[in-house]
Amino acid sequence: MSRPPTRDPAPVPEYPFRFTCQRSGNCCAVPGGVVRVGDADIAAIASHLALTEAACRSRFVAPGGDRLVDGPSHACVFLLDGAETSCAIYPVRPERCRTWPFWPELLADPEVLRRAAARCPGIQLDPELAEG
Ligand code: SF4
């Protein structure tokens, strides 16, 4: 049912790093309900879990309507711990998860990118950026 969080490697020339997912799960384990979701994400998750969208929102989406809630371990509610860190909804994981770390905010701010690289072992910064 689950697979480790990952992203198919693809060259994205404008980003000053290379990325190969190391399956650390670190991107899923930031506490504070930080995983953004949109209506299409919620609809896909609800369908995958055979829930109504209302039930899905009630169980898994924060009151603001645009973030997943945390699970008991203060990571994403869908992060499973096991022999490998896995996503319980991998086939329908939100767009933000599918596109990590190729996010506009990482391209816009080198410091944000350096912090992301410090957390995510899959990001290899271009040397001049890594030296800061
Ligand atoms: S939905 Fe899945 S891939 Fe996205 S943060 Fe949660 S566990 Fe990770």
Among residues 70, 79, 111, 95, the alpha carbon closest in space to that of 103 is found at 95
CA 112 distance to own-chain centroid: 16
Residues with CB under 6 A from ligand 1: 5, 28, 35, 76, 78-79, 87, 89, 93-94, 97
pLDDT per residue as tens digits for the range 102-123:
999 998 999 999 999 999 999 9
For 11-38, what is each residue's pLDDT tens digit?
566 888 999 989 888 999 988 889 999 9
**3-state secondary structure at position 28:** helix
State pLDDT tens for residues 47-88.
999 999 999 999 999 999 999 999 988 899 999 876 666 899
Q: In this prediction, what percent of the chain has a pLDDT beyond 90?
A: 67
From atom 1 of ligand 1, which residue's Cα is the shortest distance away? 93
